[in-house]
Amino acid sequence: MMSNFFRTLPLQLLLLLPAFSTYAQDTETGYEPHSRILFIFDASYSMSGPWEGDSKINIARRILVEMVDSLQNLENVEMALRVYGHQSPVPPQDCSDTKLEVPFAPNNASRIRQKLRYLSPKGTTPIAGSLEQAADDFPPCPTCRNIIILLTDGVEACDGDPCEVSLELQKKGITLRPFVIGIGNDPGFKETFGCLGHYYEAPGEAQFRHAMKVVITHALNTTSAQINLIDSEGNPSETDIAILLYDQFSGKVRYNMVHTLNGKGNPDTLSLDQLSTYEVAAMTIPPAFTDSVMLIAGKHNHIGIDAPQGYLLIRSAKGNTYKNEKILIKRANHPKTINIQHMGTSEKYLVGKYDLEIPVYPLIFLEDVEIRQSYTTSVEIPEPGMVHISSRKPGYGAIFRITENMDQKWVLNIRSGVSRQDYYLQPGTYRIVFRQEELRSTDQTQVRDFSIRSGLTELVEFN
């Protein structure tokens, strides 16, 4: 059965709402299905002026009442009304003349209609001040979309920058980008309000009525989009990656999802809120981003992210000695660790070169390991051997690796307080320097050289 909302909407508006039902989504995805619309209505003195056989205010409130009537039965929409220029006459100019006349509440359409009917144009046009105070008109609600629709026939008449205030509201996550409908033929409207929000001209009553329908449609509708994760060949073949969509102004996450390809092998179609400007983050390793994404209403939007990936497999030559080791992965020539990968596992990375730090003895540093599109780069670590160190009494010391040119490279300090200890070491030639803790002369340091072979244990004893 068609809801009361759709029965009361004009046919033209119904035609603009084909995807309206897509707002009923699970809030666990991060989507915000509850919309709150604050109408900011101009009741300044200039609104008493003639306009197409009537006054501007009469035509504006009549059309706004029609829209309020159409929205009153929609479950996921609440409305509120702020008015400016209706309390103090000019002159003098009262730039504090703005008031929340009807706060947000369920079923308050009749209160908004009643307030609109008895407004009398009197004063000035404090747009910036009205927007600033509108920040407190929206009670806290983490699952709400906060929308401002400003109806005005004039530009800012007081101190303040409406565009700056609007941007601040968006940055704080208080509201989405506002809608502005300019009533009349003021040539300064577009230049003034283009930076404030989504601007619509209404030089006549018909255009005003149409602009209201379009604004409401855009405010409450979604638009379709797909996220293309582009591989090295320029194809959208990458998938199965967590995606976050942030509101670029506030930094808040609007959507959480895991990317998928549909049955035809194409990126799945999404329904997204077209009012936000997005930063999209694909949780590849490292993450891939695109920002300043603005969706076009009524069009299927393509959001592209360069995300070519290949695989890195790190394993031991044989055996499970290193199965719990954690390898630090860094982008080539960058000090920051971007991932910790377990030995014996395969992980996907963006195409490029990486540095690996493998925490075995001795530490292995591999530079410029290359990851290629859809290819598995294998890094194999030799199977270690074991050294068993036995001493008559505990002591202090260190193990060094002997290089081909007979240099000594420190590997580790042995544990004090124990007389028997074991260490896994990579194959090679080593040296232990050791002194019993009870002996106080450096001349009593003992030195032992030994070799480690894969899978074998070497015994080193001290007197």
Check whether 432 has a pLDDT greater than 50.
Answer: yes
CATH number of this structure's domain 4-220, picked from the four choices 3.40.50.410, 3.50.50.100, 3.40.630.30, 3.40.50.720:
3.40.50.410
- What is the spatial distance between Cα 123 and Cα 131, in angstroms, rounded to a whole number? 17
Placement of tokens 């283009």 in the chain: 194
pLDDT, greater one: 399 or 193: 399
Is pLDDT at 310 greater than 70 in this prediction?
yes
Nearest CA-CA partner of 283 in 339, 367, 232:
339
Q: Write out the E strands in 317-383.
A: 326-331, 337-342, 346-350, 352-358, 364-371, 376-381
Q: Which fold has domain 309-381?
A: Immunoglobulin-like (2.60.40)
Domains 222-306 and 385-462 share a fold: yes
Average pLDDT, the chain: 90
Residue ranges covered by each domain of the chain: 4-220, 222-306, 309-381, 385-462
Percent of all residues in the chain with a pLDDT value above 90, rounded to a whole number: 79
C-beta of residue 67 within 8 angstroms of C-beta of residue 55 = no
pLDDT tens for each residue of 25-42: 443 444 546 899 999 999
What angle in degrees, to the nearest 10, is found between the helix axes of 109-117 and 56-71?
Answer: 170
Nearest to 212 by CA among 61, 58, 104: 61
pLDDT above 90: residue 9? no
| Tens-digit pLDDT profile for residues 203-244 | 999 999 999 999 999 898 889 999 999 999 999 999 999 999
pLDDT-above-70 percentage for the chain: 93
Domain 222-306 CATH superfamily:
Carboxypeptidase-like, regulatory domain (2.60.40.1120)
pLDDT band at 3 (very low <50, low <70, confident <90, very high): very low
Supply angle C-alpha 454, 460, 463, rounded to 5.
Answer: 175
Q: How confident is the model at residue 109 (pLDDT cuts 50, 70, 90)?
A: very high
Does the domain at residues 385-462 carry the CATH identifier 2.60.40.1120? Answer: yes
Q: Model confidence over 360-398: pLDDT tens digits?
A: 999 999 999 999 999 999 999 999 999 999 999 999 999
Q: pLDDT of 174-208, one tens digit each?
A: 998 899 999 987 777 877 788 888 899 999 999 99
What mean pLDDT comes out for the span 312-325?
85
pLDDT per residue over 253-295, tens digit each?
Answer: 999 999 999 999 999 999 999 999 999 999 999 999 999 999 9
Tokens of residue 168, six digits: 């601040």
Tokens coding 327: 């390898």
- Sequence-separated (6 or more) residues with CB below 8 Å from residue 348: 284, 285, 309, 310, 311, 312
pLDDT of the residue at 28: 44
Q: Is 406 left (phi over 0), alpha (psi -120 to 50) or beta?
A: left
Element housing 179 (H / E): strand 179-183
pLDDT value at residue 20: 30
Cα torsion through 334, 335, 340, 343, rounded to 10: 80
The continuous run of DSSP H or E covering 71 comes out as: helix 56-71
Strands 309-316 and 364-371 turn out to be unpaired
Given a cut of 70, whether residue 13 has pLDDT beyond it is: no
How far apart (Å, rounded) are the C-alpha atoms in residues 131 and 40? Answer: 8
Asked whether residue 319 carries a pLDDT value surpassing 90, the answer given is: no
Report pLDDT for 143. Answer: 82
Distance CA 245, CA 230 (A): 17
Q: Are 109 and 115 in contact (CB under 8 A)?
A: no
At residue 446, what are phi and psi to the nearest 5 degrees? Answer: -110, 145
> Cα separations (Å) of 193 from 196, 218, 248, 277, 397?
5, 18, 20, 18, 75
Please give the pLDDT value at position 72. 92
What confidence score (pLDDT) does residue 318 get? 79
- Position 23 scores a pLDDT of 34
Are 287 and 157 in contact by the 8 Å Cβ rule? The answer is: no
Residue 334 structure tokens:
């960058």
User: How many helices (H) and strands (E) are present in the chain, helices listed first?
Assistant: 8, 29
Q: Are 342 and 326 in contact (CB under 8 A)?
A: yes
* Mean local confidence (pLDDT), 98-111: 96
> Which of 382, 411, 387 lies closest to 399 in space, CA to CA?
411
Predicted confidence band of residue 164 (pLDDT cuts 50, 70, 90): very high
Q: Is the pLDDT of residue 14 over 60?
A: no
**Residue 10 scores a pLDDT above 80:** no
Lay out the sheet containing 253-258: strands in order across.
253-258, 242-247, 277-282, 288-294
Residue type, 415: R
pLDDT of residue 33: 66
